[in-house]
């Protein structure tokens, strides 16, 4: 019987492939604790921002007021700590070294109330004047006492105020 001929097969040598490369950026850690001036634990969120202002990492304190997070190594713009009842805490230009931990111990200072006095053009106190936040929907934020003194809550934020009282033009 005739022998079947198989088609001719040409084998090509495999194309050399580069060795696999590990695709990961070098990382380090940011860790520490957040407390108030008395040493009490503070519940806070911790943010690390890049030089371009982008959020690089975010974490929160645990029940012991401690935090830790893996982040890309390098120089970052800042670390911010945010907690209710405290102004934001910042540390500028933070360097995270590869395979190392940068530890920061944060003591947050409570906001202090803003105090002021309403006086007339000659410097005499104006009692019972309204201190009004200027802007859309003007809002009374305090009233002066008998000596013209007033106190604004610490958490009121940035604002422009004027004093208003019958018989006086609003203060600039």
What's the CA gap between 89 and 83, in Å, rounded? 9
What's the CA gap between 106 and 134, in Å, rounded? 35
What's the CA gap between 86 and 44, in Å, rounded? 10
Q: Tell me, what's the pLDDT at 73?
A: 93
More confident site: 2 or 32: 32
Kindly state the average pLDDT of the residues 108-133.
81
The pTM (predicted TM-score) of the whole model is 0.54
Residue whose entry in the numeric block shows the structure tokens 């190392």 = 100
* pLDDT tens per residue, range 68-119: 999 999 999 999 999 987 888 999 999 999 999 999 999 998 766 777 888 8
Kindly state the average pLDDT of the residues 134-163.
71
What's the CA gap between 94 and 76, in Å, rounded? 5
What's the CA gap between 115 and 17, in Å, rounded? 72
| CA-to-CA dists, residue 44 to 59, 66, 90, 105, angstroms | 9, 9, 13, 13
What's the CA gap between 82 and 146, in Å, rounded? 37
What's the CA gap between 2 and 74, in Å, rounded? 75
């Amino acid at each position: 019987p005739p022998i079947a001929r198989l088609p001719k097969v040409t084998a090509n040598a495999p194309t050399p492939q580069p060795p696999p490369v590990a695709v990961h950026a070098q990382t380090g850690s940011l860790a520490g604790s957040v407390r108030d001036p008395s040493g009490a634990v503070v519940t806070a969120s911790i943010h690390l921002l890049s030089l371009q202002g982008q959020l690089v990492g975010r974490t929160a304190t645990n029940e012991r007021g401690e935090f830790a997070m893996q982040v890309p190594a390098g120089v970052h713009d800042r670390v911010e700590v945010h907690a209710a009842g405290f102004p934001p805490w910042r540390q500028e230009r933070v360097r995270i070294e590869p395979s190392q931990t940068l530890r920061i111990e944060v003591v947050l200072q409570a906001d202090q109330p803003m105090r002021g006095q309403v006086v007339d053009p000659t410097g005499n106190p104006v009692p019972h004047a309204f201190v009004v936040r200027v802007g859309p929907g003007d809002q009374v934020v305090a009233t002066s006492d008998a000596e013209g003194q007033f106190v604004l809550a610490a958490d009121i934020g940035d604002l422009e105020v004027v004093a208003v009282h019958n018989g006086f033009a609003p203060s600039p």
